[in-house]
A = this chain, B = another copy of it.
Amino acid sequence: MVLFSSLTPVIIALMCVCLAALWSSKRKARRDRKVGTEDRVNSKPWADLRVDEAGSFLNDEPEVQHIPYSSQRYSEDEMIRRANEFYQLMNARRSVRFISEEAVPREVIDSIIRTAGTAPSGAHTEPWTFVVVQDPETKHQIREIIEEEEEVNYKKRMGKKWVSDLKQMRTHWIKPYLDTAPYLILVFKQIYGILPTGKKTHYYNEISVSISCGILLAALQNAGLVTVTTTPLNCGPRVRVLLGRPENEKLLLLLPVGYPAKDATVPDFKRKPLDEIMVSV
């Protein structure tokens, strides 16, 4: 007892330390959560930046020479004509979920992937891998993975509102086009590159790969092929392993590609008029 009483001041001091530590640690937790939220709002770029600052990535690009650039120059009338024709072509594009099993020349697909590969990318890292699946067995295995996960998504993960938003597109977890489409193009983003010297930062890799998919969609439409731009929720890891892709690649999009089925339908959507998407200053 005497021992305790003589220790009491020490004990009280210790308590104060604990309380202080507890309080500051709670504040830190709040701060961490706050940063987390900003990440989601301000989008990916910071992720790369943070990685870079962490110093765990090495880049060893050589200095690159600069060369003169000149481009094809059209008359103003020609520009206007070309711009309007390209708009007409792209405006005819729709996301089509009913794809014919009819064969499509492989040469066309190769050319379209080459075209997607002309996209710009952060620090010219070209952080994309396009896996073109033609093998029926593999297509079916992909379908099984996606339908399993999608059923869970619809029933458990997505919440009523999302499901009701998708209802109008008649999307659900049964996806026959994954078997019928002659090609599945699985688009992977490389979240970092691998060099002999170590890992290489891929700045803005998700934005870069998405931009290349925009060019890919334009190329498909230009060739008279259809697709639907899908983001298989939660299927990435299993599909990556199935296709034997390395850990630095993450599945971003899956595009079933082919001719539209004879009985194909699309939701009767209208697009926003120009004055709803453009602001002039």
Complex interface: chain B residues within 8 A of A104 (CB) = 79
Comparing A144-152, A155-163, A172-180, the segment that makes contact with chain B is A155-163
- Would B80 and A111 count as touching, CB distance under 8 A? yes
Bound CA–CA A222/B117 (angstroms): 17
- Our pick among B22, B64, B113, B203 for the contact of A278 (Cβ within 8 Å) is B113
A 80-91 to B, binary, CB cutoff 8 A, 1 in contact else 0: 101110110011
Known contacts A161-B58, A267-B65; A214/B218 CB under 8 A: yes
Complex interface: chain B residues within 8 A of A95 (CB) = 120
Within 8 A of B (CB), among A181-227: 189, 191, 201, 203-204, 206-207, 210-219, 222-226
Is A130 an interface position by the 8 A CB rule? yes
Q: How many residues of A contact B (CB 8 A)?
A: 157
What is the copy number of this chain in the assembly? Answer: 2
- Our pick among B135, B206, B231, B260 for the contact of A71 (Cβ within 8 Å) is B260
- Would A87 and B73 count as touching, CB distance under 8 A? no
Bound CA–CA A263/B69 (angstroms): 8
- Would A36 and B47 count as touching, CB distance under 8 A? no
- Our pick among B118, B129, B135, B217 for the contact of A119 (Cβ within 8 Å) is B217
- Our pick among B45, B131, B138, B219 for the contact of A87 (Cβ within 8 Å) is B219
- Would B117 and A271 count as touching, CB distance under 8 A? yes
- Would B105 and A224 count as touching, CB distance under 8 A? no
Bound CA–CA A61/B21 (angstroms): 49
Known contacts A35-B36, A215-B90; A267/B162 CB under 8 A: no
- Our pick among B15, B92, B131, B201 for the contact of A162 (Cβ within 8 Å) is B201
Closest CB of chain B to A85's CB: distance in Å? Answer: 9
- Our pick among B70, B203, B217 for the contact of A260 (Cβ within 8 Å) is B70
Told that A68-B265, A87-B115 touch, could you supply 6 new A-B pairs with CB distance under 8 A?
A18-B18, A44-B44, A52-B159, A73-B224, A130-B277, A207-B231
